[in-house]
């Protein structure tokens, strides 16, 4: 058995440079959803999230790179709470006027879900309802496709998504990429 991860990161370089806050937020929320799903798969909780953005260091343009760690009020694997935290972190690090090339989210201070301690101000019923909601979303996405249900801030058409025009087809591993026989 592989040991559980101590950090979970979701990040990508963009297919085209991003300048608007809304597009950056779309990418950050997409990465937060992916990371939260991985967190639930390994039955862990996170106590802090890190958000980072950066411009292209290989171009001769003004450079900018920032990151911020946002502590969570209590350990969680809830996509909605993680999404709120990364949005707050992005608001703190975003600077207008730059052409961003990469963004990402890292879940930090992970702990096993079984070792979770309740706090005085948490509502046990609310935690159970949110757990059922996340489980339902995960089941729907597993059955109908990875991006069927997600956070409201994530876009359907990701203009910032990585380009894969020159990717080699995966004939041996994907049914939908088999060449048709005529």
What are the Cα distances from residue 178, in Å, to 45, 84, 144, 145? 40, 41, 21, 19
Higher pLDDT pick, 178 / 85: 85
CATH code, domain carrying 54: 3.30.1490.100
Q: What is the pLDDT of residue 110?
A: 92
Match 């290989």 to its residue by tokens: 58
Closest by CA position to 25, among listed 55, 51, 61, 64: 51
Closest by CA position to 84, among listed 147, 42, 130: 130
Number of domains in the chain: 1
Residue 106 near residue 49, CB atoms below 8 Å: yes
Residue 106 lies in a domain: yes
> Could you list the residue range(s) of the whole structural domain that residue 41 is in?
8-177
In whole angstroms, give the CA distance from residue 142 to residue 91. 31
Which tokens go with 109?
Answer: 């201070």
pLDDT of 144 higher than 70: yes
Q: What is the pLDDT of residue 65?
A: 94
pLDDT of 39 higher than 90: yes
pLDDT of 170 higher than 80: no
Residue 72 lies in a domain: yes
pLDDT of 116 higher than 90: no
Residue 2 lies in a domain: no
Residue 97 lies in a domain: yes
Q: Is 74 helix (H, G, I), strand (E, B) or coil?
A: strand
Higher pLDDT pick, 103 / 171: 103
pTM above 0.85, yes or no: no
Indicate the angle between helix axes 21-41 and 79-93, nearest 10 degrees: 140
Q: What is the pLDDT of residue 168?
A: 73
Residue 1 lies in a domain: no
pLDDT of 76 higher than 80: yes
Q: What is the pLDDT of residue 127?
A: 77
pLDDT, average across residues 4-9: 88
Closest by CA position to 160, among listed 28, 34, 36: 28
pLDDT of 155 higher than 80: no
In whole angstroms, give the CA distance from residue 71 to residue 49. 6
pLDDT of 14 higher than 60: yes
């Amino acid at each position: 058995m592989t040991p559980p991860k101590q950090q979970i990161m979701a990040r990508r370089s963009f297919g085209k440079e991003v300048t608007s806050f809304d597009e950056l937020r779309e990418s950050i929320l997409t990465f937060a959803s992916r990371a939260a799903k991985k967190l639930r798969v390994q039955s862990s909780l996170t106590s802090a999230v890190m958000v980072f953005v950066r411009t292209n260091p290989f171009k001769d343009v003004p450079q900018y790179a920032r990151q911020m760690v946002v502590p969570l009020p209590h350990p969680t694997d809830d996509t909605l709470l993680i999404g709120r935290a990364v949005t707050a972190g992005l608001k703190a690090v975003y600077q207008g006027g730059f052409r961003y090339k990469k963004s990402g989210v890292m879940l930090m201070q992970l702990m096993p879900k079984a070792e979770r301690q309740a706090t005085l101000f948490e509502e046990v019923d609310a935690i159970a309802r949110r757990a059922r909601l996340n489980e339902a979303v995960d089941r729907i996405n597993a059955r109908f496709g990875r991006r069927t249900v997600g956070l409201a801030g994530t876009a359907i058409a990701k203009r910032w998504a990585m380009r894969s025009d020159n990717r080699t087809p995966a004939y041996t591993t994907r049914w939908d990429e088999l060449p048709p026989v005529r």
